[in-house]
Chain A
Amino acid sequence: MPFFLPADDPGPSFSNLLQRMGHNPLPDPGMAVPVTHATTCVAMRFADGVVMAGDRRATSGNLISHRAMEKVFPADRHSGIAIAGAAGPAMEMVKLFQLQLEHYEKVEGGELSLDGKANQLSQMVRSNLPAAMQGLVVVPIFAGFDLRRNMGRLFTYDVTGGRYEERDHSATGSGSLHAGTVIKVAYRDGLTRDEGIDLCLRALFEAADEDSATGGPDLMRGIFPVVATITAQGFERVSDDELSGRFRALLDALAANPGGPAQ
């Protein structure tokens, strides 16, 4: 059991504790290596909070390495993290980030502020910079419901750990150009939950249509993007049944008007 004298205490930070115990969770690989990549994720605000979504495809070069990968995760009760980039370090970062927030909450007896959580993630992305220089780039989106300000907020990052609060929406990963544009064109203030989810699905659908590394809805296998809403009630994943219905409606609308926009 790690037992420290008061002057020697690593505090509520789990990553400090790991270092003190001799673990180095995100090491520099020292050379460029071919790895599995996770791709497109989007997030945006709606009337009650934020909605996040990510496709399910992981690629190694031009091959599909995984069809059902998850890229959107709860970070804690009122926040979520979506990741794009090298899958291995990204999963490790998510795991560490979730632990970091829970560890802080348990040691300190209270949750970090949403800004505090966003800042923590910033430090983690920055500590991954040496690996990013070798090609293991991890670029997350962090979104959550700020209980102190009573509103949904979202943050994007760059590989140096730069943290940028977005007002309304953001997209990351290889299909982000297309997904981001779809959202940008259709976004307006005060979207309902239904409208927000539909817009995210449309954005991912269009990204998958243009970007080979982004997976579309897989009706044959029943694999749909991971979509989650984060409101004052917390993180809630949208069920596959609901997504299936929404995708079928989207596809019907597109088929009814081939070549034109879905109404």
Chain B
Amino acid sequence: MSMPFYVAPEQMMKDRADYARKGIARGRSLAAVTYGDGILIVAENPSNTLRKVSEIYDRIAFGGVGRYNEYDQLRVAGVRAADLKGYAYSRDDVDARSLANQYSQILGQIFTHEVKPMEVEILIAEVRGSSGEDQMFHVLYDGTVVDEHNYSVLGGDSEVIAERVSQTWSENLSLRDALRVAVGALAGPDRTLSATDLEVAVLARSDGRRAFRRLDDNQVAEHLS
């Protein structure tokens, strides 16, 4: 009879975390920054159809980086949870914090119990009455939730990019300026990103019930020019 080798729990968790981080680092990053009228989310994504940024509910958006099939499965679960909750209670009762907690539970469960962890990082953003109340939750592959303010960066190079955002971001930016901050930070000093390399969406307070809106390539190019 063969005996499995003993692997210390610390080692096992570390291996899984390394595996997830490597998977995430292979993809490109995403940055969300608050601006005067809400939250702007910019992802580096050459595809025009496979989305990284999507609508979850009236005032809540989702962003994912890493493995497409995994974060898309999480996105759909979020839409379902939100729509069910809004149907059973009221549209006002659907909030980002509760969704972030549920995502955290799922990712934590999968990280410890499944064969492989999900190679994803996700963002759940919600606009509220004024820019000081906007919420952004950054959920990691192991279920860690980070409550972020002003801006949030997901992906392999997130620390470097977040550092660049912090140098140019300020409160109450216009949409145009916010887009320049996010794109500049994603591109870094050595590259330039054009509208076709980007996926851009906003949660705009002034847009009425459904605050989520995508900006097409023409609109993005206009803001960047």
> Do the beta carbons of A2 and B87 come within 8 Å of each other?
no
Given contacts A18-B87, A99-B87, A107-B76, is CB(A2)–CB(B54) below 8 Å?
Answer: no
B106: Cβ under 8 A from any A Cβ: yes
Given contacts A1-B103, A3-B106, A14-B83, is CB(A106)–CB(B77) below 8 Å?
Answer: no
A95: Cβ under 8 A from any B Cβ: yes
**Quick one: CB contact mask for A110-145 with B, threshold 8 Å, 1 for yes?**
000000000000000000000000000000000000
Please indicate the chain A residues that have their CB under 8 angstroms from the CB of B87 in the complex: 14, 18, 95-96, 99
Q: How large is the interface on B (under 10, 10 to 19, 20 to 34, 35 or more residues)?
A: 20 to 34
Chain A residues with a Cβ closer than 8 Å to the other chain, count:
18
Q: How far is the CA of A109 from the CA of B53 in the complex (A)?
A: 11
Q: How far is the CA of A123 from the CA of B102 in the complex (A)?
A: 32
CB distance from A142 to the nearest CB of B (A): 20
> Do the beta carbons of A102 and B83 come within 8 Å of each other?
yes
Contact of A109 among B51, B56, B88, B102 (CB under 8 A): B51
Shortest Cβ distance from A6 into B: residue: B73
> Do the beta carbons of A2 and B55 come within 8 Å of each other?
no
Q: How far is the CA of A1 from the CA of B56 in the complex (A)?
A: 13
Please indicate the chain A residues that have their CB under 8 angstroms from the CB of B99 in the complex: 1
Interface of B is mostly: helix
B81: Cβ under 8 A from any A Cβ: yes
**Quick one: CB contact mask for A1-25 with B, threshold 8 Å, 1 for yes?**
1111010000000100110010100
CB distance from A19 to the nearest CB of B (A): 12
CB distance from B145 to the nearest CB of A (A): 14
A237: Cβ under 8 A from any B Cβ: no
B149: Cβ under 8 A from any A Cβ: no
CB distance from B47 to the nearest CB of A (A): 12
Please indicate the chain A residues that have their CB under 8 angstroms from the CB of B84 in the complex: 2, 17-18, 21
Instruction: List chain B positions with a Cβ less than 8 A from chain A.
Output: 51, 54-56, 73, 76-81, 83-84, 86-88, 99, 102-103, 105-106
Q: How far is the CA of A43 from the CA of B219 in the complex (A)?
A: 36
Please indicate the chain B residues that have their CB under 8 angstroms from the CB of A21 in the complex: 84
> Do the beta carbons of B77 and A103 come within 8 Å of each other?
no
Q: How far is the CA of A14 from the CA of B83 in the complex (A)?
A: 8
Interface of A is mostly: helix
Interface residues of A in 68-115 (CB under 8 A from B): 95-96, 99, 102-103, 106-107, 109
Please indicate the chain B residues that have their CB under 8 angstroms from the CB of A106 in the complex: 54-56, 79, 83
Please indicate the chain A residues that have their CB under 8 angstroms from the CB of B102 in the complex: 1
Given contacts A17-B84, A21-B84, is CB(A103)–CB(B79) below 8 Å?
Answer: yes
> Do the beta carbons of A1 and B105 come within 8 Å of each other?
yes
Q: How far is the CA of A23 from the CA of B80 in the complex (A)?
A: 14
Q: How far is the CA of A129 from the CA of B81 in the complex (A)?
A: 29
Give the 8 A-B CB pairs with smallest separation, nearest first.
A1-B102, A1-B81, A106-B79, A2-B80, A3-B77, A103-B83, A1-B77, A106-B55
Shortest Cβ distance from A106 into B: residue: B79
Q: How far is the CA of A12 from the CA of B80 in the complex (A)?
A: 9
Given A1-B103, A102-B83, 8 more A-B residue pairs with CB atoms under 8 Å apart are A1-B77, A1-B81, A1-B105, A2-B77, A99-B83, A106-B54, A106-B56, A107-B79
